[in-house]
């Protein structure tokens, strides 16, 4: 969707005369930065990183999942930030809103 320019010239968000908000951003993008967290069985969660957008967080989460899967396929432990974990202890990889 192409939104008309706002008063400051930005072309990604605008409010129409009837109060409808137009944006080309994906749902949830306006909520703010996100963090990627790996939840482990019987251990504290690991915060991988905080990033500015949901899109970046999803991409990072997918890379983390891929790294965990690759470590598992090799029979190795996965390196997550500054920890080595057994891939089978990973419960989930979550994208959370930073509050």
Domain ranges for the chain, please list them: 1-27, 32-97
Distances (CA, A) of 94 to 34, 38, 61, 75, 84: 10, 6, 7, 23, 18
Please choose, from the candidates 98, 94, 28, the residue with its C-alpha nearest in 3D space to the C-alpha of residue 58.
94
Mean pLDDT, to the nearest integer, of 23-42? 81
Q: Per residue in 38-58, pLDDT tens?
A: 999 999 999 999 999 999 999
Provide the whole-model pTM.
0.70
Q: Could you tell me which residue, 80 or 30, shows the higher pLDDT?
A: 80
């Amino acid at each position: 969707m192409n939104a008309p320019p706002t008063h400051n010239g930005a072309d990604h968000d605008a409010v129409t005369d009837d109060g409808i908000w137009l944006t080309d951003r994906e749902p949830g993008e306006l909520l703010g930065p996100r963090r990627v967290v790996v939840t482990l069985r019987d251990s504290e969660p690991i915060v991988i990183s905080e990033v500015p957008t949901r899109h970046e967080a999803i991409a990072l989460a997918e890379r983390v999942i891929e790294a965990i899967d690759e470590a598992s396929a090799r029979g190795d432990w996965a390196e997550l930030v500054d920890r080595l974990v057994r891939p089978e202890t990973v419960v989930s990889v979550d994208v959370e809103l930073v509050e």
